[in-house]
Amino acid sequence: MAFRLVNSGGAVLDPAFVNLSASGTVWPGSLVDFVRGGTGGAVVNASSELSTSTMVFGVSVDYAEGASNTFVRVIPINSSQIWEVDCTHAATTAQVGLRHALSALAANKARFIHNTGTDVSTGVSQFLALAMTGLTTGSGKLIGRFVHYTGQVIPVNSTVFLQ
């Protein structure tokens, strides 16, 4: 199943898609990184366990293999969305409230969360588990949201904006 949008965080029932050029293999329901630069311009490629929260852009709706000049539809992620995701390990209630990393255990690695009983605090893209669905045996499913980098926050009462 991979990543499935459960709630868009607003009145919009259907998510907006962005058509982006794919690089490499991208699977439906997998996370993709937004990559800028090079001669090809901006592209998306499959996320991995090394993807940071500033790299992960969205979830692909389409499949592309060895892509070059192939476009895929992507749902951009934001922190108000709720997602259901497949896990590489059995899901337990002890994992709820923790941040989890992406998995690198399968060929289509961008479609799973590497869920453990340990909170992932830095470095990699993070998925904050809010609830558990399904059975606790085998690979389970977690419901949660992405901890996404939003830039530096300036307090509302701040009087110093530029230095």
| Last residue within a domain, chosen from 37, 56, 76 | 76
Pairing of the two strands 71-76 and 82-87: unpaired
Q: What is the number of domains present in the chain?
A: 2
Is 134 a member of any domain?
yes
Return the higher-pLDDT residue of 84 and 9: 84
Mean pLDDT score across all residues of the chain: 75
Is 102 a member of any domain?
yes
User: Are 71 and 98 within one domain?
Assistant: no
Is 126 a member of any domain?
yes
pLDDT digits (tens, 9 = 90+) for 118-156: 777 665 667 888 988 866 555 678 899 887 654 444 444
- Give the burial class of 116: count Cβ atoms within 10 A of its Cβ; 0-12 exposed, 13-18 middle, 19 or more buried: middle
- Give the burial class of 148: count Cβ atoms within 10 A of its Cβ; 0-12 exposed, 13-18 middle, 19 or more buried: middle
Q: What is the pLDDT of residue 74?
A: 92
Is 38 a member of any domain?
yes
Q: What is the pLDDT of residue 38?
A: 55
Q: What is the pLDDT of residue 162?
A: 46
Domain that holds residue 130: 82-147
Return the higher-pLDDT residue of 18 and 160: 18
